[in-house]
Amino acid sequence: MRRYRVGVIEGDGIGPEVVGAALKLLQAVDRDFELVRISAGYGYFKKSGKPVEDGAIDTIKSLGAAIKGPLTTLPGPGTYRSINVMLRQELGLYANVRPFRSFRGVSLKDLNFTIVRENTEGLYRSVEGRFRDVALSTRVITRSGCKKVIEFSFRYALVEGFRKVTAVHKANILKVSDGLFREVFFETSKKYPRIEASDVFVDAAAYYMIKEPERFEVLVTPNLYGDILSDLAAGLVGSLGLCGSAQIGDGVAVFEPVHGSAPDIAGRGVANPVGAVTALTLMLKYLGTMHSDDYLVSRAVEIGEAVREVVEEGRALTPDLGGSSSTNDVVEAILKLLQPEG
């Protein structure tokens, strides 16, 4: 039987709780997984003086896939640079793919769309300077960066059976940088005549996302817009704790829940593990597709269906969804559906 080696970054705050929960579900996957632990985050920084262990980038590159929990980044100058941003840029994880699908009886709106967020450029290049009371941030948008993520979003739409890709920008104001993003989007769209290509200003996108979310199927966005719209979408789905993501590069991918380290609920055993479990299913699907292992792909689908049943039937709901179940109760409820008794 094939052995899969994957990296694991537990992360900060609720990270170890939700990543631990996701990894418990690997019990229900009949494959040999070797988990390679990688230390990173604020907790690790306090112990070692380093935000991430030496050689982490090479380790993840050589493994090709990793699952990670959220990492705390303190605001303001004088602390280390975001490790999330560093990992995305150093590993070239250019597409941050975040599927949002409503849960019956839980979500505020019916929706089924995916945000594909450019993940390595934009304002997150952190080219900043301060001159007395004037602070400047430079936004970096390149043709090659746009091309990679936009090509990805059209291919994703085809593979996942979506018919429409919408570019989100603000090219009426940011005429040069978002203008380039928009230009590359419509150039690229010509290669995909079966997919409807349209664009929307980011402010209107936020409005339509709440008012008429059914108008969206795949949205492709520059970095910051995708970050903000993702949390908005997660709110509509019902909780940040319900949403997972795949960060895709060339030959390497990192899977994580959409949420942060949630220090307000960390250590209490009540974090919603569904986002991390969704990240796990995205990783299983990725590995299965990569290695032509249909079993892994079908197991990913089964875990996703079990999660859906647990949430929609209210079998185990954590406090963010109005329930009183623990993180572990949710995992046990999912496992029970995957391994029916008798």
Sign of CA dihedral 105, 107, 109, 112: negative
Distance of CA 245 to the CA centre of its chain: 2
Q: Using CB under 6 A, pick the residue from 169, 259, 285, 299 that binds ligand NAI.
A: 259
Six-digit token pair at 110?
A: 């019916």
Minimum distance, C-beta of residue 220 to ligand NAI, in the bound complex (Å): 19
- CA–CA separation, 262 and 246 (whole Å): 20
| 18 touching ligand NAI, by CB under 6 A | yes
Minimal CB distance residue for ligand NAI:
260
Q: Which of 111, 60, 106 is nearest to 83 (CA)?
A: 60
In this complex, which beta carbon is closest to ligand NAI, that of residue 6 or of residue 262?
Answer: 262
| 253 touching ligand NAI, by CB under 6 A | no
Please give the size of the binding site for ligand NAI, defined by CB under 6 A: 22
- CA–CA separation, 153 and 27 (whole Å): 32
Minimum distance, C-beta of residue 73 to ligand NAI, in the bound complex (Å): 4
In this complex, which beta carbon is closest to ligand NAI, that of residue 124 or of residue 185?
Answer: 124
- Side chain identity at 108, as an amino acid letter? L
String marking each residue 271-310 x if it binds ligand NAI according to CB under 6 A: xx--x-----------------------------------
Site for ligand NAI in 57-116 (CB under 6 A): 70-73, 84
| 265 touching ligand NAI, by CB under 6 A | yes
The CA dihedral of 165, 94, 6, 19, to the nearest 10 degrees, is -70
Residue recorded with tokens 């390679």? 36
| 244 touching ligand NAI, by CB under 6 A | no
Q: Which stretch binds ligand NAI (CB under 6 A): 120-128, 202-210, 267-275, 304-312?
A: 267-275
Across-strand partners of 219? 115, 166
Minimum distance, C-beta of residue 19 to ligand NAI, in the bound complex (Å): 11
Give, to the nearest 10 degrees, the angle between helix 274-290 and helix 15-24: 50
Encode 154-169 in three state secondary structure. HHHHHHHCCCEEEEEE
Interface ranges with ligand NAI (CB under 6 A): 14, 18, 70-73, 84, 239-241, 256, 259-262, 264-265, 271-272, 275, 318, 320
